[in-house]
Amino acid sequence: MGALSGIRVLDLSRVLAAPLAAQTLADLGAEVIKIERPGVGDEGRTYGPPFLMDRDGKSTGTAAFFLACNRGKKSVTVDLATAEGQQIVRDLAASCDVVLENFRAGALQKYGLDHASLRAVNPRLVYCSITGFGQDGPCADKPGYDGIFQAMGGVMAANGHPDEPMKIGISMVDILTGQQAAIAILAALRHRDQVSGEGQHIDMALLDCAVASLSHFAMNYLVSGEVPVRRGNGGFGGVPSQAFDCSDGMVFIVAGNNQQFGALCRAIDAPALAEDPRFDHAAGRVVHRDALLQGLREVLRRRSVAEWLARLDAADVPAGRVNELPQVFEHPQVRHRGMLVSAEHAQAGAIPLIASPIRLSATPVEPCAAPPTLGQHTHEVLSQLLGLPDARIAELAQSQVI
């Protein structure tokens, strides 16, 4: 029994941010019914290569991208452009706790699937809309994707080198928005169940989440009035918080206080750095950042990553190798924590998946089901949840409603 056992989610979303939010709810035990277009599905299925291979080594046509954000869900194909398809979704919403959608603001109103329409069917429904710019404002009608919001929201301004803003490699704004949406949904469910007895509308915007993610980087500007300088692989807090070149790779080191800084200097045989009056206090290390980092770079490039990590670990200085993906999944701590799991896919057999990082003592996250094939659960859901007879389901399939 997961923490959200008994909660049913209707996932009308596609691509990444909203599907990630629904996947988090599935990880926590909710039943998630994913609605996809018949014959086409979530366009995230096409975002390859790479594509998942079946048991015979042939492409399933399902991109790895889709697998990343749809584990644990049931796929039901419904054509929302048809009156019968719209009624199916309304009927499903009547027995759901949550609806997730990421259509353009107002787009679902013409189908009678907007918040107001579904609230009339089910007042207890928590309805979460995820869009680029939100449901209102001068940009509400504009389309957008993760990279645009990294640019507009200041994320690129925080990354890269002083003369070049840079996008984070992964779709971080999508990922953060998905997490924020899941938090908002859980809060709305609690309010419904403990306070009001009714659901509410959640309006999540990727641009909002991008701006909120700036955290201390933006606060440095708001407090000082000075635009922070991009620092490449360096941090914006204490110094050092930085990636350093070694003789055979890179190591990231953080010395967050005087004790750790002293231990670092002793571990790398550079005690003079700790005794230098410019560097013997936290503010001084920030003010004289460039001089300190130059001294550390000169020392750290002389030995291998393994040699430095052995010394730093012995001195209790926070440090870690800058890993490529093979090293990430080979790391003994990552393996011990079970962050790489497998699940049985209907076409491909056992496939690798990244696990949920959530650890709950009383309601642990159960082993996840593999992301579904397109329409894999259509008959099951329409039969068991809506009580449609086989003949009616066959008629709907014949007319391409499902």
pLDDT tens across 292-335, in order? 999 999 999 999 999 999 999 999 999 999 999 999 999 999 99
184 and 257 belong to one structural domain: no
Taking residues 326-354, what's their average pLDDT? 97
The answer to whether residue 226 sits within a structural domain is no
Same domain, 374 and 298: no
For the stretch 55-64, pLDDT in tens is 999 999 999 9
The confidence band for 236, taking pLDDT boundaries of 50, 70 and 90, is confident
Q: Residue 388's CB: how many other CB atoms inside 10 A?
A: 19
Q: Are 317 and 188 within one domain?
A: no
Q: Is pLDDT of 129 > 80?
A: yes
Q: What's the CATH code of the domain at 48?
A: 3.40.50.10540
Domain check: are 270 and 137 in the same one?
no
Residue scoring higher pLDDT (367 or 82): 82
In a domain, 141, yes or no: yes
What is the structure's pLDDT at 367?
84
Based on the fold, state whether residues 44 and 189 are members of the same structural domain: yes
| Residue 177 clears pLDDT 90, i.e. is over it | yes
Same domain flag for 345 and 203: yes
Per-residue confidence (pLDDT) for residue 306, from 0 to 100: 97
Q: Domain boundary residue among 295, 322, 349?
A: 322
Q: What is the pLDDT of residues 208-224, one digit of tens each?
A: 999 999 999 999 999 99
- Is there a domain that residue 235 lies in? no
Note whether 306 and 179 are same-domain residues: no
Is 314 found in the same domain as 202? no
Whether residues 313 and 340 share a domain: the answer is no
Which residues make Cβ contacts (< 8 Å) with residue 37, sequence separation at least 6? 77, 79, 80
Same domain, 365 and 255: no
* Predicted model pTM: 0.94
User: What is the length of the chain?
Assistant: 402
Q: Is the pLDDT of residue 237 over 80?
A: no
Domain that holds residue 266: 241-322
Both 256 and 391 in a single domain? Answer: no
Strand ranges for 19-125 from DSSP E = 31-36, 51-53, 59-63, 73-77, 98-101
The band of 368, judged by pLDDT with boundaries at 50, 70 and 90, is: confident
Q: What is the pLDDT of residue 172?
A: 97
Q: Which residue from 130, 172, 166 is spatially nearest to 151, judged by alpha carbons?
A: 166
Residues 60 and 145 in one domain: yes
Gap between the Cα atoms of 256 and 240, Å rounded: 7
- Report the chain's mean pLDDT, rounded to a whole number: 96
Predicted local confidence at residue 43, as pLDDT:
95
Q: Does residue 56 lie in a domain region?
A: yes
User: What residues contact residue 168 under an 8 Å CB cut-off, 6+ apart?
Assistant: 150, 155, 159
Q: Which long-range contacts (CB under 8 A, 24 or more apart) does 215-220 make?
A: 217/154, 217/158, 218/154
- The answer to whether residue 92 is domain-embedded is yes
Q: Would the pLDDT of 30 be above 90?
A: yes
Distance from C-alpha of 395 to C-alpha of 152, rounded to nearest angstrom:
48
Residues 6+ apart with CB under 8 A from 348: 52, 53, 54, 55, 60
In this structure, what CATH number is given to the domain that contains residue 258? 3.30.1540.10
> Cα dihedral angle (229, 211, 168, 70), rounded to 10 degrees?
170
Q: How many domains does the chain have?
A: 2
Q: Is the pLDDT of residue 121 over 80?
A: yes
Q: Which residues are catalytic?
A: 174
